[in-house]
């Protein structure tokens, strides 16, 4: 079993690894690194499989996808074993995280980063899966993807998120979201940097310690699930990041969805935390997060923010080849 106790930032890679794009007829491997696939999730996963196969792909579920060994999820070793095997499996061209949850970070010490680096391929997920996509990118240099989970293909009311996945991962499009979507300026400016981020509560947990991320010169994208995180708790997370120097390192912030019954917006909380100390650009859109409209954001490729433009952020590097 591969164990690694060094911080992610201490193993910064010079070269970015760009995965091959997905092609019709390719096999997609599905893993469950977060909460268990139980109850209605089993039927939802099968329905998502049918939708994806109807579009011309093959779907392969991991060995432990239905495991619930601990009663609250499969074990960390089972989860990591599935991910490692999917990267080693030459038939599998993409790895898709099944659903969200709370503890995908348990896999960190059991992931075989050398195998992943030697067998680069697309891996996609959001919410709790941001732990894995962030860590794999940090440890290997592989471009990873923050986008809809596999199960959500079946449970979303529209196919927006699935179409965004196809646009990015099959077509290689550099357009983030639909052309008509609104981007708001929260703080003016221009910046360029590699994208890093995801769910606020997940990224906050990777600020310090053994598996801390490298935030230097990054454009940080953040969203949060309002049903689980109050404005005060979001404030707590952001202050923790501030107190650990994150905002001294980044080039800009891109804010996604945060829906809370108070109607307090995430951009309000961000500005409260930042005060007048930081002058980097901050933008807001509603095309990623715990909502129907989830575009696919590549982690590790460069993007440019320019608040003078209607579309205030654009990708400036290819994320699949």
Is there a domain that residue 252 lies in?
yes
Is there a domain that residue 115 lies in?
yes
- Pair (116, 213) in one structural domain: no
pLDDT per residue as tens digits for the range 279-292: 999 999 999 999 99
Mean pLDDT estimate for the chain:
95
pLDDT per residue as tens digits for the range 115-167: 999 999 999 999 999 999 999 999 999 999 999 999 999 999 999 999 999 99
Q: What is the pLDDT of residue 116?
A: 98
- In 10 A of CB 56, how many CB atoms? 11
C-alpha–C-alpha distance, residues 58 and 73, integer Å:
26
Q: Comparing 64 with 1, which gets the higher pLDDT?
A: 64
The CATH number of the domain holding residue 21 is: 3.40.50.10740
pLDDT per residue as tens digits for the range 250-276: 999 999 999 999 999 999 999 999 999
- Pair (237, 303) in one structural domain: yes
* Containing structural domain, residue 209: 184-315
H runs (alpha helix) in the chain: 40-54, 76-88, 113-118, 130-140, 152-155, 160-169, 200-204, 231-243, 246-249, 266-274
pLDDT per residue as tens digits for the range 41-53: 999 999 999 999 9
Cβ pair 249, 280 in contact under 8 A: no
pLDDT per residue as tens digits for the range 193-234: 999 999 999 999 999 999 999 999 999 999 999 999 999 999
Is there a domain that residue 321 lies in?
no
C-alpha–C-alpha distance, residues 223 and 49, integer Å:
27
Q: What is the pLDDT of residue 8?
A: 52
Q: What is the pLDDT of residue 299?
A: 98
Is there a domain that residue 297 lies in?
yes
- The last residue of a domain, from among 117, 145, 169: 169
pTM for the predicted model, two decimal places: 0.94
Is there a domain that residue 1 lies in?
no
């Amino acid at each position: 079993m591969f164990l690694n106790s060094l911080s992610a930032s201490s193993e910064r890679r010079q070269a970015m690894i760009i995965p091959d794009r997905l092609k019709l007829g390719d096999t997609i491997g599905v893993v469950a690194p977060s909460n268990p696939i139980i109850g209605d999730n089993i039927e939802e996963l099968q329905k998502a499989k049918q939708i994806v196969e109807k579009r011309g792909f093959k779907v392969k579920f991991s060995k432990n996808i239905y495991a619930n060994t601990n009663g609250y999820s499969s074990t960390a070793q089972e989860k990591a074993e599935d991910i490692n095997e999917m990267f080693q499996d030459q038939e599998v061209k993409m790895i898709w995280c099944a659903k969200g949850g709370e503890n995908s970070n348990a896999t960190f010490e059991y992931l075989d980063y050398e195998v992943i680096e030697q067998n680069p391929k697309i891996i996609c997920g959001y919410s709790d899966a941001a732990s894995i996509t962030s860590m794999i990118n940090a440890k290997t240099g592989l471009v990873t993807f923050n986008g809809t989970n596999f199960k959500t293909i079946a449970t979303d009311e529209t196919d927006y998120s699935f179409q965004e996945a196809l646009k990015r991962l099959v077509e290689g499009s550099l357009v983030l979201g639909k052309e008509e979507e609104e981007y708001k300026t929260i703080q003016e400016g221009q910046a360029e940097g590699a994208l890093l981020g995801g769910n606020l509560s997940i990224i906050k947990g990777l600020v310090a310690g053994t598996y801390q991320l490298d935030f230097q010169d990054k454009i940080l994208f953040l969203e949060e699930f309002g049903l689980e995180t109050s404005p005060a708790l979001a404030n707590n997370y952001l202050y923790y990041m501030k107190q650990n120097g994150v905002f001294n390192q980044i080039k800009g912030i891109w804010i996604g969805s945060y829906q809370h019954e108070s109607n307090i917006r995430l951009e309000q909380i961000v500005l409260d935390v930042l005060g007048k100390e930081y002058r980097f650009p901050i933008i807001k859109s509603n095309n990623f997060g715990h909502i129907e409209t989830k575009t696919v954001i590549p982690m590790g490729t460069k993007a440019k923010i320019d608040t003078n433009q209607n579309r205030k952020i654009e990708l400036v590097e290819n994320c699949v080849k």
